[in-house]
Structure formats: structure tokens, C-alpha cells
Structure 1
Amino acid sequence: MLYHFSEESDIQVFKPRPSMAHPKLDPAVWAIDEEHALHYYFPRDCPRVIYWKADWTSKSDICEFFSDSKVDKIIVVENRWLERIRNKKLYVYTFPEDTFKLFEEAKTAGYHVSHEEVVPIKVELVDDLIAKILSKNVELRFTPDLHIIRDRVLSSTVDFSIIRFRNAIKQ
């Protein structure tokens, strides 16, 4: 299954749009696979650092990043987003997979693109994002400064996704 997360409840047709992050890519509709969907149960602009154990993660990094946890994935968000996460409602659109292809530039991130219009199969309201996130086997952590964990993750062997970091508080 492929998904698209939105704060809008009534999108009937998703039309391909240009990507600011990938200006050379033809206009596309973006979707995320089931494995990575958890990364998107947040308000759209919420900066977050997500990291997890991968086959290539060193034993020393597993010890450093996971020694105080029994989970394989940790999500870190700035403190100032807690109330917005608590109060936000999201709509999860389920897409048919037939026109989508894996976005090769970031294949481990689970992104898929379609260059055709997409009609969703269904839409589901999620009104308790924290409960949805915590229903998975992850830790959700809050911090006043995302830069510290981002820098540690980038210099490690853990796999990661850093989303909307441009919105993080400048340090």
C-alpha cells in the first residue's frame, strides 16, 4: 500500500506538481510506503529526526543510540511541537500502486512518485497522532534542540530520515 498524508480532508484527485526539493523531476504525485508511513503522522511542517537500526549499523552505534531502549526506531521532535501534534488532525489517503515507481534518489526512504493524476482508494481520519505513533514499536522523544541529534545521526552508521529540518529552531 502507498499513502499520502494531508491536513485536507476532501482531496478527490491528486495532480502532479513540481517539487521544490527535486526541481529536475517532472511534476509528480508523491506517496510513501507502509514501512515508512509512521514518519508522517506529524503536522506537515514539523521538523523531526528519525533513526533506526539497519543491517550496516555498527555495534558501537547500536550501543550509543539504543542502549537505553528496547525499540529499533526512535523519533525525535522539538518540544515546541508537542501541543500542535496533540491537536492536529491528519487525513491518510491510500493510493493504488499501479502508476507509482520507487523514487530512486532516495530508495531507502520509501518515496514513490507518479507522473499521472491519482484518485485515492480511501481516506482515513487520524485525530490522535501521538496514540497512532506510539501504537508502533517506536520511541517518541522531545528535545529543545534537534541540531544535536541530527549531527550525531549524520556522523553515525544508523539509517535515518530527517524531515522538514529547515523548520527547526536555528541554534
Structure 2
Amino acid sequence: MRPAAGEVVHFSEDPTITRFEPHVAATARQPEAYVWAVDAARAPDYWFPRQCPRAMAWVRPSTTEADRAWLGADRVHAIEYGWLPAVQSVRLYAYRFAASDFEPFGPHRHAMVAVVPVVPLGPPEPVGDLLAHHEAAGIELRLTRNLWAFVDSASRSTLGFSGIRLGNAKPRPNELHA
């Protein structure tokens, strides 16, 4: 489930939205109100329940052979074991929008934002089996007891890296005994 050419997509567990209003997200790092969407390359980052903490790493042209060997695949998404039942059972929907209603956000330009209300191009589409989407896209999904070792290794590497909802991850192992 990715947007077609000229489109961006927003994923939601709510299939009843007819108009998206800009707002400041609870997890926002900026004070401006936006409607958020993603391009085709980053759509797989959102093939998860909204609150699921996840880390993504992928090979870039500048990735070292050592980091490529550590990752063991071209792209890996990691979640904690406890989130697997939610990934398997969530009913996720994709809302498609005209990309022309959005502007790239940030230095990597894969997140897209609208500063005015936007209406989807059509009704939301059920995304379906999230594990099957990962498999079809060639993305390895890793299950971990605790996400932080993967986060720390990937973020210090030459790999591309992103983390979403990491505040919902289990505490770091060294924080459990503090």
C-alpha cells in the first residue's frame, strides 16, 4: 500500500475522516499546525498500529560493508515482541491525497505537510495484512525483546535510520534498575 505517482498518503485506524484539518500533533517538535502525509518511499514506515514503537534502517549508497553486514538486509523494520499481536490485528486505512496540496517537510523531504484543510481523493482504503505488505516489499521485520539495542546500533551507523513512537517502547535495559 503506497501512494501512486502524484499522490501522498496518510494512514489511520479511523475510517470515518472526510476532511483533514491542520493541527499540532501531541508528539510534535514544532508549534505549527499541519496535516501530515508521506511519499511512496516512506509509506512502509507507517504499516503499523499508530502507537506502535518502531525503528527502521536501510542501506544507503554510503553505507559501509560492516554496517551492511550487521543489518543483513537492504531494509529492516524492528518492533518489540509485545506489539506483534497488534500489528497482526489492527485495521489500518490509507487516505490518498493529491501531492500538489502538500509541501515537503524537513531536511529529508519525505514527510509531506499541508497547512490548509485537505479532502482525500476518495474513501479510505483498508491496508490489509501488514506482514504481507512487508514481505512483498522485501522489508525484513525483526522482533526484539527491547527496541533500544537496534535503535542505538542503527542510529550510530552509516545506514539510513528513522524511529517512530519510540516513547512507547519499553525502557532501556539500564533504566529498568535505576
TM-score (norm 1): 0.91
Unaligned runs of 5+ in 2: 1-6, 174-178
Deviation of the 1:21 alpha carbon: 2.0
Alignment partners' CA distance in 2, 1:167 and 1:32: 21
Q: Which is further off, 1-10 or 129-138?
A: 129-138
Alignment partners' CA distance in 2, 1:163 and 1:98: 25
Alignment partners' CA distance in 2, 1:18 and 1:77: 26
SS at match of 2:16: coil
Equivalent residue number for residue 114 of structure 1: 114
Query: How large is the Cα RMSD of the aligned pairs?
Result: 1.3
Alignment partners' CA distance in 2, 1:78 and 1:158: 20
SS at match of 1:62: helix
Deviation of the 1:105 alpha carbon: 4.0
Q: Deviations over 1:108-141 (max 9, x none)?
A: xx10111011100132112322112222111111
AA aligned to 1:73 is: R
Alignment partners' CA distance in 2, 1:50 and 1:92: 20
AA aligned to 2:92 is: L
AA aligned to 2:28 is: A
5 Å matches for 1:6-155?
A: 6-19=12-25, 20-24=27-31, 26-66=32-72, 71-107=73-109, 110-122=110-122, 123-155=124-156
Q: Deviations over 1:23-42 (max 9, x none)?
A: 33x21100000111011010
SS at match of 1:34: coil
Alignment partners' CA distance in 2, 1:105 and 1:18: 19
Alignment partners' CA distance in 2, 1:75 and 1:104: 22
AA aligned to 1:161 is: S
Alignment partners' CA distance in 2, 1:124 and 1:133: 17
AA aligned to 1:52 is: W
Count of equivalent residues: 164
AA aligned to 2:71 is: F
Alignment partners' CA distance in 1, 2:97 and 2:50: 19
TM-score (norm 2): 0.87
Alignment partners' CA distance in 2, 1:127 and 1:161: 23
Q: Which is further off, 125-134 or 110-119?
A: 125-134
Q: Which is further off, 111-120 or 98-107?
A: 98-107
